[in-house]
Each structure stands twice: as structure tokens, then as C-alpha cells.
Structure 1
Amino acid sequence: MNIAVFLDRQGQVAPLTAPGTVTLFSREHGRWQIVQKIAFDLSSCTSLDVFRERTLAMLAQLPACRHFVTRDVHGAPRAWFDGLGLTLWQCTGAPEPALDTIAQQPVAPEAVTLPPQAFVRSGAELGEFYVDLIAARQAGADDIHTAKLLLVPLLGRAEFTRLELRCDHVPKWFARLADYHLQYHSTPLDDGTLRVVVTKTAS
């Protein structure tokens, strides 16, 4: 199990309104080990666009992580994290008690285990991508976390311009894309599936 915890310089759980480090913990041989650290700072964000870029870039570096621990999170950050399928936990102090509590929760099905390349293709132009979410689901993955694992890294790329999806429904968290300068439209296909295209909104 991988759990991300937002820590301050003293190693205590920190609020997202302050600079800190996203620390990824993994339990090995009955002990929690730090496997990754990512500097993260939303305190200087001046627009939703900057917030989106920083958040997506950070989440793209968290492999198979469904849990995020912070001291305090409200508003746009909570909505965005929730929409991407992360379970948010709030606590204070040292991270170890929170890690043990989360680890005792019922285990959800694992996210897709096939490599992302099995479902993602590059488009004709730089920054264009095609993702087959139906194929990913048929491989045994659950919808919410498949979308998170496959789409978030693509949307967070600096060169991103267009994303086309094959799916049977629009992911619920797409309702918030407009808040992050992204837009989408869907087209029903003859086989009963949908073609959904995501692009950046005009500046």
C-alpha cells in the first residue's frame, strides 16, 4: 500500500496552504518506509491554472497511490483531489498513526496493472493523445482509478493540447474541468460508446 502524506520541515502533517513535501510511504516487512519525496507548494498560486498545473504534475509522480493525508484541505483542492479518485485524510502531528489507521481500512481492488502504454496512444501532433478507457476497464480495472492513473499525467503535461477518449460514460470529475481551463465535448458512436475530446480553453 502506498500513502502520500503532506509534511512540513519538522516532519509533521501540514496543511496544503503552506509549502511542504509530499512524502510517499510504503509498508514493507511490517514497517513504513519513505520511498519518494516531492516538493509541493500551493501557497503562491495566483490562478486556478497554476493550481491545476502544480497539482496534476505532483499527482502524476505518485504511482498507484489512492490515499492522501494532509492537516487541512478545503475548497478547490478538496474538490479536485476527490474528483481524481483520491481518498483524503485529515490529521495532525506525526504521520505514523495516520498510516496505521489507513492501512487497517478494507482494501479496495487494485488499480490497473497493465502498463499505461496498453491503453494510450500519441496523436498525429505533439500534445495529442488517445486513451481507450473501455479496454482498460475490460482488463479488470475500476473506472475511477483507471481514469486517474491514465488521464491525469497526460492532462498535466506542458505540451498537452488534445485528449480523445473512448468510453461508455463521461468521468464524473470532468464536470470540474472548466475550473482548470479545460473543456470537453462528447459524441455518441454507432457501437453505443462515446468519443470524448478534452482540449484547453482559450486564454
Structure 2
Amino acid sequence: MACCVFGSKILLAGGTIGIQSPTTFRTFGSFIEGKANPFLLEVDRKLDALASYPIQSSIISGGSSYFEVIDPIRGVWLTLPYPPVFDDYNRTYDPAGPGDFFCFVARSNIFCTSAYSPSYYRFDVADPVKGWKVLPSSFNSGSLPENTLGRTFVADGGDEEFILFSFSYGEPEYPHPHILVQLLSSDFSCVTTLNRVLLPTDKIPLVFLPPTVIGLSI
């Protein structure tokens, strides 16, 4: 399951098999396709559900409901456009998952890539007709950490820029858990690293740490 805050509501959602239940928590209907541990977030006053990793049926069918958004008026889930990271993967590998999936949100924009994708892609939920746009190579100049799914907090930085705070660990040059602080330009063309703040491992719950860093301390 995953949870989030949407307006004044605390929501819990997740699962790959539909189960009918009389619980009073069930107020937003069922996903079009099941999602294990989805990334739930409010974007442009709508609730989006992004799958944290693909389900085989979704991959085989083209991932038609990998991302979904709730229609708050009708209370039903609608499909968002298919993310291109699957196409990047399937051009080189057999149809399967896109590897580790990386994703974060800035205002109404969803950014995503994967371990097997050469590019980052952006989708503006406020202007869905334009679909997914590939970002220029300069976007990767700041080297975003792997596995940003649900681990990046995005704040307005002024002048329509964004400041990204990402929990990161295990990078070859920076194996110790830290907060990576970066600046995302207003035109989404580049990410610039501003600082790295080391974190004391004895203050971080073990569930958030991989075995390779457990035991390290400052």
C-alpha cells in the first residue's frame, strides 16, 4: 500500500488484485489496473497514481494504465499517456520492466527516466495534449541520483526555478547517505548541483538503508 494527503483527506491505495471491502476508506474507486506500492501525489489539484514498477500484464499490453489520474467530479480513474521509458528498454532488451524507475514532480510536471533510458522525459498534466517531451542532454548535467521515486522534495526557488532535495546513497563517489540539493532551471533544460549534506546513519531508520551502508556512521 501507499499513502498520501489529498486536500483534507488521507488516502491509502495499492494492490494488484481487486478486493471488495465495506471499509469507509474506499471513496475513490479502483485503479484501471492494479499497482503495487504506487507513488501517490497531488498534481495541479488532481490525484495522480504512478506505478513504482510495472506489472507484466501492463508491459505486454503496452502499459496503457501505468500512470492514472482521478477525475474528482466523477470519482473514476483515467489513463495518462504511456511513458516512453518502456520503449527505451524494449529497443534493447526483451519486453519486461524498464529497470529501476526514477520519477519526481515539479508543479504540474512529471519527470521520469529509468536505468535503461538515455533521456529524461517530461509530461505536463496541465497540458496533456502535448504528451511526453524528451529533455535535452544538458538536463542530465547535474546527475540526478538514482531512485528518485518518492525521495525528492521539490520547492519553488524563485524566478520560476525549482530546488530539489533528494535522499541519495550508494553513488560510487558518494556512498554515504546524504541529501543532494540541486537547482532545476525554469525552462527545465538543466539541473545544477548546489550541495550535498551528509546524514548520520544512526538517525536514519534501517528500512531506508541498503545493507551496504548499514554500519557506516559519522
TM-score if structure 1 supplies the norm length? Answer: 0.29
Structure scoring higher RCO (CA < 8 A, sep ≥ 6) equals 1
TM-score of the pair, normalised by structure 2: 0.28
Between Structure 1 and Structure 2, which shows a larger proportion of strand residues?
Answer: 2
